[in-house]
Structure 1
Amino acid sequence: MRRLEGVAHLQELIAAGFSRYQVAAMMRQGQLLRPRIGWYVAPWHSPDVVRAVRVGGRLTCVSAAASYGLPVPPDPRVHVCLPRNASRLRASSDGRRVAAGQDRSVVWHWSDTAGQRFRVDLVEALREASTCVPAGWFVGMVDAGRRPDGGPPLLPAESLEELRSLMPRDKRGLLGRSDPAAESVLESLMRVGLEDAGVFAETQVVLGSFRVDFLLDGWLVIECDGGRHHSGPVEFERDRRRDAALSRLGYRVLRFSYRQIVEDWEGVIRTVRSVLSGGGRAARIRHASVRDGVSS
């Protein structure tokens, strides 16, 4: 099953030397799952892979991107790629026959692109996502793919160029807004949202002994609080000490949570504009090596 990427047809298992009785026994013991007649999935695959195989396709778009480890917008639906000539469609829950669009838990994508047995390749997943998710989320996905994170990036320069060549022309400009220096998808969403709102922000600015996510107008600091780095009591206290120190230096600090940025962006931008309109004074300490601009 590992050689077959965790997805196999019964005839492939028989060709590998297993009898029908052995396959049935492995299924009863939980060593194999059978999403649809004749098709088997290894139990270490995610439920989305099982759903995609039951439908008769492979993961694509945000479902495939998530399987590669990229951040994606909240979506309970599974995005499935099927061949353009596919006609016998099935529901992702029980395998019954359905028409395209009838199963609301599935987003259907039609493509004959190559890829792995259970998902399309990352470039194809991002190409599909470019027309399926909001601009900020797409840019955040590309940012994450370009970020090294201690190893080679998922989306190296050559893959980025391939993606550019395959994307619709009206979406290619989004790649120019990508910045692999963004440390989280929240920073990407904030950056793109501020850009769209016409608010200029400097990113990853060093202020004294601190580095902040965003600096606006030379005095307003914006920090994005993701759950992973800001959820515990130790992190909470550290952030408050940091805010107090920045305040003593003359900076105003605004913090926004994942929920605010993702679910209440209008409230976030209203707050930012309101604080900016109130004005502020230049802060006293500013490190010389500041990265100007919002994208690379």
Structure 2
Amino acid sequence: MTIEDLRTALDGLIDARTSQLLDKCDPESQSGTETLARVRLGARGYKVCVQPARPSGGNSDLAIGRLLLECDSKQHHLLDEVQYEKDREQDRKSLLAGRPTIRLTYAMVIHRWDDVFKDIALFVREDRHRDRRGR
């Protein structure tokens, strides 16, 4: 169901606040944790890219400049050994291409966001997220 489908199905049933929440939805987002991180970063003024391409192929969850952010669930990224290995290989290749990755868990985004945000802000404040090659 698209966001517009949802709006149509709920026509007359949602208030202005709910409509504003729907405005924050991104159809490219693949998880609630990813969405929460994106919305929180956007509220702090960061330009967040959803599903940016990784240098080694595939996509990352989010990016701020060169900084890649992965919002990992235990089920998909830890309990699946093939995915676990693939994640680390992508991180290594991305780092070598100048795209460092910060991996976030559900607990980090939900319960320890203040600490996570401080680390992201420090990285960005030190201008390490900018591409020095003119891109």
**TM-score with structure 2 length normalisation?**
0.83
1:182-202 C-alpha deviation (Å, 9 max, x unpaired): 111111111111112221111
Does structure 1 residue 277 correspond to structure 2 residue 125?
Answer: yes
Aligned to 1:28: none
**Higher Cα Rg, which structure:** 1
User: 1: CA distance between counterparts of 2:112 and 2:72?
Assistant: 14
Report the residue type matching 2:20 in the other structure.
G
**TM-score with structure 1 length normalisation?**
0.41
Query: How far did 1:229 drift?
Result: 1.1
Query: How far did 1:242 drift?
Result: 0.9
Query: How far did 1:238 drift?
Result: 1.8
Structure with the larger helix share: 2
Over the matched positions of the two proteins, sequence identity in percent amounts to 26
User: 2: CA distance between counterparts of 1:207 and 1:237?
Assistant: 16
Does structure 1 residue 265 correspond to structure 2 residue 113?
Answer: yes
User: 1: CA distance between counterparts of 2:48 and 2:90?
Assistant: 20
Query: How far did 1:223 drift?
Result: 0.7
**Secondary structure in 2 matching 1:212:** coil
Aligned to 1:168: 15
1:46-68 C-alpha deviation (Å, 9 max, x unpaired): xxxxxxxxxxxxxxxxxxxxxxx
User: 1: CA distance between counterparts of 2:12 and 2:64?
Assistant: 35
Aligned to 1:212: 60
Among residues 75, 85, 91, which one is paired with 1:228 in the alignment?
A: 75
Aligned to 1:187: 34
Report the residue type matching 1:191 in the other structure.
R
Change in CA separation of 1:229 and 1:283 when aligned onto 2, cut-off 3 Å = farther
Query: How far did 1:275 drift?
Result: 1.0
- Residues 204 and 212 in structure 1, CA contact (< 8 A), matched pair in contact too: yes
Aligned to 2:50: 203
With a CA cutoff of 8 Å and minimum separation of 6, indicate the structure with the bigger relative contact order.
2
Report the residue type matching 2:105 in the other structure.
S
Query: How far did 1:156 drift?
Result: 7.0
**Secondary structure in 2 matching 1:206:** coil
Among residues 223, 248, 262, which one is paired with 2:96 in the alignment?
A: 248
Among residues 19, 24, 31, which one is paired with 1:177 in the alignment?
A: 24
Structure with the larger strand share: 1
Which ranges in structure 1 are unaligned for 5 or more consecutive residues?
1-145, 148-154, 287-296
Report the residue type matching 1:238 in the other structure.
K
Count of aligned pairs: 131
What RMSD over aligned residues (CA atoms) do the two structures have, in Å? 2.2
Which ranges in structure 2 are unaligned for 5 or more consecutive residues?
none
- Residues 251 and 283 in structure 1, CA contact (< 8 A), matched pair in contact too: no
**Secondary structure in 1 matching 2:53:** strand
User: 1: CA distance between counterparts of 2:9 and 2:58?
Assistant: 37
Query: How far did 1:161 drift?
Result: 2.4
